[in-house]
Amino acid sequence: MPTRRTALLMLAAGAVAATRARAAGSLRALHAADVHVAGYPTVEAVRWIGERLSAATGGELGIHVYHSGQLGREQDTVEMARFGAIDLTRVNFAPLTNAFPLTGVAALPYVFHSVGHMRRAMDGEPGRRILADFARRDLVGLAIYDSGVRCVYNVRRAIHAPQDLKGLKIRVPPSDIFIDIGRALGANPTPLSFGEVYSSLQTHLIDGAENNIRSFHSSRQFEVARYWSETRHSYSPEALLMSRRSFDRLGAAEQSLLLRLATESVPVMRAAWDEAERTSRAAVLAAGVQVNDVQLQEFARATRPVVEAWLAAPPMRRMYEDIQALA
């Protein structure tokens, strides 16, 4: 059952969808949610799908993207998609790990050795298994997008080794894996939604957070958190998900078209991501953020118990081994 908050958001999303349907006339618009801002690579990738969907159907079917968290937090939009209140949502693996444990393997610390390794795994059999697993809870896995490498940033000091995090309140996504990672590193992990991070850094509710450099930049969190440390602890990817109810309302040809376009959007997203990452890194450096390397082996050693605990279940261990085989 959805939470009260999610139920209210579902009602709001339904009202928005009804209004747009009346305004659009003959156009059938699929409604997509993303917490990121306009211009963010995932937002633009979904818009790319919508443009080609409209072109291929003679303007009969398209996608309207509600960016910047207009339809709620990532966890909320997953529930709304499950119950058919919205059609599509883009969600990082981090908040999915509890409900869909296979996503957790791809979010584990130091499971990937590089961006190339992550892309090979998510394009290959491990990624296909993850996408198929979403069917268990009334979702259709359409694509897996990049989310860069996650690092720690904070308002206090440069982080060189795990002991430097001791006592710091570090925002993590609402995910058991990321809470465990924070504890393993000696921090005080504080689960918050993405949209709450900037104000929480400003008011010192938290001392820092962890995320990719594009999100650090686009959210303007670099204005208050002036220390970026290259912990590179997770490459947690992103999932583009669709409501099973919405998918089943499409005709067979439309379903096939949407699946194909979602797959084709992955390299489009990655090209935009690579450029955005370079731009964001240059921008935060120019703004005076202090960037430093860390003792990666110590971070990997400190978080290894988290990996082993997650891999206790045989399906998780098999997924991990299949990913390592693609290193």
List, for residues 109-152, the tens digit of each pLDDT value.
Answer: 999 999 999 999 999 999 999 999 999 999 999 999 999 999 99
Tokens of 204: 């010192």
* Residue whose structure tokens are 């009202």: 15
Query: Same CATH fold, 150-235+280-324 and 4-147+237-268?
Result: yes
Q: What DSSP element (H or E) covers 188?
A: strand 188-191
For residue 303, give the amino acid letter: T
Question: Strand runs (DSSP E) across 99-163, as ranges?
Answer: 139-145, 150-154
Instruction: Give which of 62, 105, 99, 53 is closest to 78, Cα–Cα.
Output: 99
Extents of the domains making up the chain:
4-147+237-268, 150-235+280-324
Question: Would you tell me the crossing angle of helices 314-324 and 125-133 to the nearest 10 degrees?
Answer: 150
Burial of 288 per CB tally in 10 Å (0-12, 13-18, 19+): exposed
Instruction: Give which of 68, 2, 57 is closest to 30, Cα–Cα.
Output: 57
Gap between the Cα atoms of 55 and 52, Å rounded: 5
How high is the pLDDT of residue 19? 47
* Residue whose structure tokens are 């990655």: 270
Question: Would you tell me the crossing angle of helices 176-184 and 296-310 to the nearest 10 degrees?
Answer: 140
Gap between the Cα atoms of 244 and 16, Å rounded: 20
Instruction: Give which of 220, 229, 217 is closest to 290, Cα–Cα.
Output: 229
CATH tag, 150-235+280-324:
3.40.190.170
Gap between the Cα atoms of 262 and 277, Å rounded: 22
Name the phi and psi angles at 291, rounded to 5.
-110, 130
Burial of 322 per CB tally in 10 Å (0-12, 13-18, 19+): middle
Rg of the chain taking only CA atoms, in angstroms: 19
Burial of 137 per CB tally in 10 Å (0-12, 13-18, 19+): middle
Buried b (16+ CB within 10 A) or exposed e, 187-201: bebbebbbeebbebb
Instruction: Give which of 71, 112, 106 is closest to 92, Cα–Cα.
Output: 106
Q: How far is CA 109 from CA 4, 90, 284, in A?
A: 33, 22, 25
Q: With left for phi above 0 and alpha for psi between -120 and 50, is residue 148 left, alpha or beta? A: left
Instruction: For the chain, list residues with pLDDT below 50.
Output: 8, 15, 19-25
Q: Is the CB of residue 71 less than 8 Å from the CB of residue 86?
A: yes
Q: Residues, the chain, total? A: 327
Q: Which CATH number fits domain 4-147+237-268: 3.40.190.170, 1.20.1370.20, 3.40.50.10860, 1.25.40.10?
A: 3.40.190.170
Q: What is the DSSP letter of 109?
A: T
